[in-house]
Amino acid sequence: MSKITIEQTINANIDKVWDCWTNPKHITGWNFASADWHCPTAENNLTEGGSFSARMEAKDGSFGFDFGGTYTKVVPNELIEYSLGDERQVSVEFKIEGNSTKIIETFDAEEINSLELQRTGWMCILDNFKKYVEQLKE
């Protein structure tokens, strides 16, 4: 199985980045790839063995899906690892770089869509996260 890695540097400290990544009130503000989509609901039990779920759907109601999984490792402000429903593995590293935080996300590719399409889709969500966090007032 192929692995895909994407990364982005967020101009915010680790505490803000971690809170925005893990708090459902923030997840609904960024967890979608384009402006014509949204994330109306999110739930998160951020503990090893805990689960998460986020609803992603087109704003016009034409399509939607639930994205979720189970946490396998959680190191606050450093690392989140989880297993998706189809057993694919995802790792999200958080690295402090001065006043910024670098996120490195590595995931097992699925076999339906091309690697480039998957990379682009996940990167659009990560870019949306960056925009959301950097526009958020302290």
Q: In this structure, what CATH number is given to the domain that contains residue 112?
A: 3.30.530.20
**Domain boundaries, position 103:** 3-33+75-135
In a domain, 117, yes or no: yes
Write out the chain's pLDDT in tens, 138 residues: 799 999 999 999 999 999 999 999 999 999 999 999 999 999 999 999 999 999 999 999 999 999 999 999 999 999 999 999 899 999 999 999 999 999 999 999 999 999 999 999 999 999 999 999 999 986
What is the distance in angstroms between the CA of the first residue and the CA of the last residue of the chain?
41
Tally of domains within the chain: 1
Residues 6+ apart with CB under 8 A from 35: none
In a domain, 49, yes or no: no
Give the whole-angstrom CA distance, residue 121 versus residue 23.
22
Give the whole-angstrom CA distance, residue 7 versus residue 89.
17
Whole-model pTM? 0.95
